[in-house]
Amino acid sequence: MQAIVDRIEGDMAVLEIDGERFIDVPLNEMPEGCAQGDVFEGEPGCWRKDDDAKAERLRINSSLMAKLFKD
């Protein structure tokens, strides 16, 4: 499953799971340095950071923003 860190609230990470639902996970159960926008693969208790997926999401979002604000 894919999880994207939607936001950090106190000591909880709010994760968007597979683009369908949200779950709250204690930060101490996430990899160290977990931040908003990070992408992870795996399951609760066994998350692996996916920097390639995050870079692709940022590239797509940047492209969409450029089209939206094109003169």
Average pLDDT, the chain: 94
Amino acid letter, 57: R
C-alpha–C-alpha distance, residues 40 and 60, integer Å = 18
Can you read off the two tokens belonging to residue 13? 């990470």
Give 71's DSSP letter.
-
pTM for this entry:
0.84
Predicted local confidence at residue 71, as pLDDT: 59
Sign of the four-CA dihedral 26, 28, 31, 32: positive
Can you read off the two tokens belonging to residue 4? 């994207």
Q: Please give the chain's pLDDT, 71 residues, in tens.
A: 999 999 999 999 999 999 999 999 999 999 999 999 999 999 888 999 999 999 999 999 999 999 999 85
